[in-house]
Amino acid sequence: MSAPVLVSIQVGLPTEYGQEDAADPFDRCWRTGFFKQPVSGPVAVAQTNLAGDCQADLENHGGPDKAACVYSLDHYEAWRNELGLDIHAGGSFGENLSVANLTESDVCIGDVWKIGSALFQLSQPRQPCWKLARRWKVKDLALRVQQSGRTGWYFRVLSEGTIEAGQELILCERPCPEWSVARANQIMHTDQEDLDAAAALAELPLLSKSWRKTLHKRVLRTAPTDVSLRLDGPNRESPQA
C-alpha cells in the first residue's frame, strides 16, 4: 500500500450565496464556509482552525474536536460515477485536508498523525449536513454520503505547527485499533439497535464530546436528535428529487 499523503489543503471564510427571492430553495440565500479554496506553501495549524479558515455555523462545526475536516480523494471516482458531477479538485466535499491512500477503514478513533510539524488526533467521523447537498444541488447527497460510509473524519490538534501539500501522514499512535471510523459510522448510522456497541463507543474518552453525548442518549433511550435537521435542513423545501 502506498504511503498516505496530503494532496491538497483548502481553507475558506463564511460567505453569503444565493438570492433571497429565488423560487428554488437551493438558490436562496445561505451563508457557508463550504467553498474552500486550495492554498500552496506552508499553512499554519492552530488549536481550532487552519490559518485562513473559519466556519459559518459554530454550533455544529469547528471547535477543538473539529479543527480540520479530512476527506479521502480515493472516494472521488465513485462519487463522479454515482452522481455524474464534475468532482475532481480537492475540497469538493468541503474538506480542509484532501488525502490519498487512506480511507475510513484505515483510520481509527484516537489515531495520532503527524503532518509536517503539526500533530493531529482523529476525534470522530464526519457527519455530513445539508450544506453538502446544497453545494452540489443533490437533495439527498448528505444522506447518501452517510449511508455509504464515505464520510471523512475530523482531526483535533495536539500540537500546533505548519503543514504543506505533498507531505506524508505519519501514524504515531493507535490507541484504539478496534474502533475504525468505518466501524464507528456503522454503529452510529446503521446498527442503531446495538446498544452494547453504542455504550462501548460512548465510553471511548478519545471520541469527540458531541458523539459521546449522542450515543449516551441512545443508550439511555432518551429522545433522539432529529437527524433530518442536519441532513435536509432548508433543502427539504426543494422540489428536486
pLDDT tens column, 197-229: 999 999 999 999 999 999 999 999 886 767 877
The model's pTM: 0.94
What distance, in Å, lies between the first and last C-alpha atoms of the chain?
39
**Chain segment 66-91, per-residue pLDDT in tens:** 999 999 999 999 999 999 988 888 99
Q: How many domains does the chain have?
A: 1
What is the domain extent for residue 205?
5-237
Which residues are CB-neighbours of 74 under 8 A, at least 6 positions away?
A: 100, 101, 102, 103
Quickly tell me which residue has 455530513 as its cell.
Answer: 128
Helix, strand, coil % over all residues of the chain, rounded to 5: 30, 25, 45
List Cβ<8 Å contacts ≥24 apart for 207-214. Answer: 207/109, 207/110, 207/123, 207/124, 207/179, 208/65, 208/66, 208/123, 208/124, 208/154, 208/156, 209/65, 210/65, 210/124, 211/124, 211/125, 211/184, 214/188
Quickly tell me which residue has 463564511 as its cell.
Answer: 14
Quick one: pLDDT at residue 237? 65
Per the rule left: phi > 0, alpha: psi between -120 and 50, beta: everything else, 233 is left
d(CA 208, CA 189): 16
Quick one: pLDDT at residue 239? 59
Tell me the CATH number at 192. Answer: 2.40.33.20
